[in-house]
Amino acid sequence: MAAPASQSAPAPAANLSLKSLEELKETLHYDTQHPLQHVDIYQTSKAPETVWIVFIHGGAWRDPTKTTSVCLPLFTHLHRTLNGYQSPTSSKCTPTTPINPAIPPFRPLPPSSDPISFASLSYRLSPHPEYPNVSPPNTSQHPDHINDVEAGIAFLKRERGMRRYIVVGHSAGGTMGGQMIYRSMQRWRKAIAAGEKVEEPHKSLISMIGVEGIYSLPSISTEGGPEYDKFLVAAFGPKPAASNTESAEKTERNTWEEASPAITGIDGYKGLVVLVHSDEDKLVSWDQVDEMKTVVENTRGVGGGCRVLKVKGEHDEVLEEERFGCVVEGLVRELVIKPEGRS
């Protein structure tokens, strides 16, 4: 007989075969041009069916204090609630995020399933006036940042057998998550046109979750004024003199527009784009979400989708909130977990 609705779910059993994140952690370099070209890896299984969560940190493309470790509250939450690592109590999450109703909502994965693996990508940075003496110096500019992220993804596929993954990008990391979708679709279309048989991007990049993301550089420049232009110019070069992005006759985009997912769109991507944002964010407004949502809905492929979810906390503090962990947990369950195990 089913338990009454008011009765709490039983505490999940701990998966004692799993190591802690600290024990799992490996830091490896995917390139050797700069020390920042590395990835923190927390691999729980070598099975090809394993799904990975790949995190891209923010920091306005230039802040050296924003590192691969900012994802640890999220990874810790998911390692406990999805993988069942030393979980003494059931998840504190409430079923307010979309979760497949056929799946017990807050229970570790079945023993026959492969635990989720995790990775957090570091990338070269642009110069920051408050950190002039960083050694080696940070002098990178677009497209160095996204090139590094894609090189890190390629490394995980080549060296760790990563086949399916969900990208979680915070702030500037959300920009790069959107850029990754568009660039992947562009490469896929060129390969198809050349007669190559290649898998569509959504088969591997299952979903992109942007949190407090920047999706339009021209719009965030207007929103933040000269102070925001400082980091935008450092990362993307001189501010365009004028922009007629909305002109129907425009056939070429400037660098800032080409780097903006809310302008380029996602070129027929068939995966799920999730836009997570907080009312308490004082650095990035909901306008960024609104612009991105509109362009995703207009440029997604058949079967693709866009979802907007609200969380709590200021721009950086969101990552430390239990609510954000619950949102990602619910999405992972919905996207990759079947009642009998994995899809």
Q: Could you tell me the pTM of the whole model?
A: 0.89
DSSP conformational letter for 191: H
DSSP 211-242: ES----HHHHHHHHHHHHHHHHHHHH-SPPS-
Q: How far is CA 310 from the centre of its chain?
A: 16
Distance CA 65, CA 54 (A): 19
The pLDDT score that the predictor gives to residue 109 is 56
Residue 32: the pLDDT is 96
The dihedrals phi and psi of 217, each to the nearest 5 degrees, come to -65, -45
In this prediction, residue 97 carries a pLDDT of: 46
Of residues 269, 265, 286, the one with CA closest to residue 277: 286
Task: Supply the pLDDT for residue 112.
Answer: 47
Question: CB-based contacts of 106: which residues, under 8 Å, 6+ apart?
Answer: 9, 12, 81, 90, 91, 93, 95
Burial (Cβ within 10 Å: 0-12, 13-18, ≥19) of residue 100: middle
Find the helix or strand (DSSP H, E) in which 206 lies: strand 205-211
pLDDT of residue 96: 46
Phi, psi for residue 258 in degrees, rounded to 5: -65, -25
Q: Break the chain into its structural domains and give their ranges.
A: 35-237+252-342
- CATH ID of 35-237+252-342, from 3.40.50.1370, 3.30.60.50, 3.40.50.2000, 3.40.50.1820: 3.40.50.1820
Give the number of other Cβ atoms within 10 Å of residue 65's Cβ. Answer: 9
Which pLDDT score is estimated for 145? 98
The β-bridge relationship of strands 117-121 and 38-42 is antiparallel
Distances (CA, A) of 321 to 77, 307, 310, 315: 10, 20, 12, 11
Nearest to 319 by CA among 287, 281, 274: 281
State whether residue 154 is helix, strand or coil: helix
Asked if residues 214 and 178 have their Cβ atoms less than 8 Å apart, the reply is no
Distance CA 91, CA 127 (A): 41
In the predicted model, residues of the chain with pLDDT beneath 70 are 1-17, 87-113, 242-251, 337-343
- Provide the token pair at 162: 């990563």
205-211 and 38-42 strand pairing: unpaired
Query: What pLDDT digit, counting tens, does each position of 163-215 carry?
Result: 999 999 999 999 999 999 999 999 999 999 999 999 999 999 999 999 999 99
